[in-house]
């Protein structure tokens, strides 16, 4: 073994030591994702609605600024609903929101379980 570099020309005197944590901060940020518990809550609602025959397909998008769970009646259409997680809004209006096809926010909040209550059906009295 020698103290010489494997690089051609011997020692790498002009080599720069890079702090890995600093490099990660300057590199492209990781996309926003849904955590396992969040997906469990969303997929529970999705499974219930599929069982009732109302929803047929879904898509998950992990973008730089938000994560989106899109719900479709048919796979070739625009999504009926989008469940969005936007961490930039967490301190203000809440990170979670449910948006309909036309872009109107149906419910927004800090807790995903509360936001997903927009899909709970109201029981009606049948005479």
**Does residue 5 belong to any structural domain of this protein?**
no
Give pLDDT, residue 20: 78
**Does residue 50 belong to any structural domain of this protein?**
yes
Is residue 124 very low, low, confident or very high in pLDDT (cuts 50, 70, 90)?
Answer: low
pLDDT at 111 over 80: yes
In sign, the C-alpha dihedral spanning 78, 75, 40, 52 is: positive
Neighbours of 101 (CB within 10 A): 12
pLDDT at 121 over 80: no
Q: pLDDT digit string (tens) for 22-39?
A: 776 676 777 888 999 999
Q: Global pTM? A: 0.73
| Percentage of the chain lying above the pLDDT 70 cut | 80
**Does residue 63 belong to any structural domain of this protein?**
yes
CB contact set of 61 (below 8 Å; sequence gap of 6+) = 67, 68, 70
The count of structural domains within the chain is 1
pLDDT at 110 over 80: yes
**Does residue 70 belong to any structural domain of this protein?**
yes
Q: pLDDT digit string (tens) for 59-92?
A: 999 998 999 999 998 877 789 999 999 999 888 8
**Does residue 54 belong to any structural domain of this protein?**
yes
Domain of residue 70, residue span? 36-119
């Amino acid at each position: 073994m020698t103290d010489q570099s494997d690089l051609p020309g011997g020692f790498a005197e002009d080599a720069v030591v890079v702090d890995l944590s600093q490099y990660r901060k300057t590199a492209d940020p990781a996309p926003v994702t849904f955590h396992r518990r969040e997906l469990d809550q969303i997929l529970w609602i999705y499974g219930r609605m599929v069982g009732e025959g109302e929803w047929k397909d879904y898509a998950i998008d992990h973008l730089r600024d938000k994560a989106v769970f899109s719900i479709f009646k048919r796979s070739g259409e625009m999504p009926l609903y989008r469940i969005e997680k936007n961490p930039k809004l967490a301190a203000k209006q809440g990170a979670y929101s449910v948006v309909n096809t036309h872009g109107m926010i149906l419910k927004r909040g800090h807790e995903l379980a509360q936001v997903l209550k927009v899909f709970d059906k109201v029981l009606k009295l049948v005479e």
